[in-house]
Amino acid sequence: MKILVTGSNGFVGSHLLDLLLKKYKSENVFGLIKVNARMRNVKHLINKVNFVEGDITDRVSTDNLIKTIKPDIIYHFAALSWVNPSWNMPAAYFNVNALGTINLFESIRSNNINPKILVSCTPEEFGDVKESELPITENTLIAPVNHYAASKAAQDAICQSYYASYKMRIVRCRAFNHEGPRRDINGAIASFAYQIAKIEKNLQENVIEVGNLNAKRNFTHVIDMVKAYSLAMDKGKEGQLYLIGSDMNYTMKEVLENLIKLSSKNKEISYKIVKSRVRASELNFLIGDCKKFIELTNWKHEKSMNEILQDTLDYWRNFISEKLY
């Protein structure tokens, strides 16, 4: 049994590798990374995982990858995944998220293997759902309002097409916000925590720069989320879509204020909205009904919102202390 994780040095991919090494022999776990990839998230795994250099936007590269490994299981997480940069580089997002997925699937077909594939999609595809239309379900129509979401909707359609046309064993998941250690500071909670950690070390003024704080999201700890992905791989039905998320729903203002409370300087910290951190088109609500997935797998989150915030803040405190900034 060979397992391949694309995007393996990323936030979710690195945590998934941690979990997979508890389930499988290390010699059977492979992680795809780009040439000269940043390895900070997986430095503890360098001698435990078979990291392979490649590029999903290069068909020759994906052909060599699949031909060499011949994986039985693929977790496809390689993606451009931040909203704000997508407005300035839409072609790059479609090249990686859509064309990259086609390259991977075509390489699988040309090598005559039939792995089970889990593809990480996004609730951003649903667009600006009104509060009266909540909760979001698998049957909610998609209406992307940014180029990232549009590129992932294209990926989603590609998955459906390859399942319908070739019966490729594809399971799609749209996971609501998952947070914790290793999340890049492009993410709101990571950015808040990073700035607090800098303030505590007197490396920044006691003011946190923020974007829209009215947005309401569903949150899950990344450790709980990768367990959910593993269950989706084990129990998910091919051709199906599953929403994954907890029952912890908070506005970004609530998240920020709870995070500040965890700081030793909580009495001194304030925050201000900065235009550059506000999206051109905002999604006010991403709250889902994940009953379909939960009934199938009996998954439930174990970590609280406070643990998400504490773990994230501690990660960035250590990051600052190690002078990695």
Residue 324: what pLDDT? 57
Enclosing domain of residue 128: 3-178+219-244
pLDDT at 162 over 80: yes
In the beta sheet, which residues pair with residue 273?
A: 210
181-192: per-residue pLDDT in tens? 999 999 999 999
User: What mean pLDDT do residues 242-250 have?
Assistant: 98
Query: What string of H, E and C letters represents the secondary structure of 78-132?
Result: CCCCCHHHHCCCHHHHHHHHHHHHHHHHHHHHHCCCCCEEEEEECHHHHCCCCHH
Number of domains in the chain: 2
Q: Both 309 and 195 in a single domain?
A: yes
Sign of CA dihedral 66, 83, 134, 141: negative
Q: Both 82 and 166 in a single domain?
A: yes
pTM: 0.97
Sign of CA dihedral 253, 259, 262, 265: negative
Assign 280 a pLDDT band (cuts: 50, 70, 90): confident
Q: Both 145 and 262 in a single domain?
A: no
Q: Both 145 and 235 in a single domain?
A: yes
Q: Are 97 and 155 in contact (CB under 8 A)?
A: yes
Q: Both 59 and 206 in a single domain?
A: no
Q: Both 192 and 237 in a single domain?
A: no
CATH number for position 317: 3.90.25.10
Q: Is 317 helix (H, G, I), strand (E, B) or coil?
A: helix
199-221: per-residue pLDDT in tens? 999 999 999 999 999 999 999 99
CATH number for position 84: 3.40.50.720
CA–CA separation, 136 and 28 (whole Å): 37
Neighbours of 70 (CB within 10 A): 14
66-110: per-residue pLDDT in tens? 999 999 999 999 999 999 999 999 999 999 999 999 999 999 999
Q: Both 190 and 71 in a single domain?
A: no
Q: Both 77 and 46 in a single domain?
A: yes
- Residue 294 maps to a domain: no
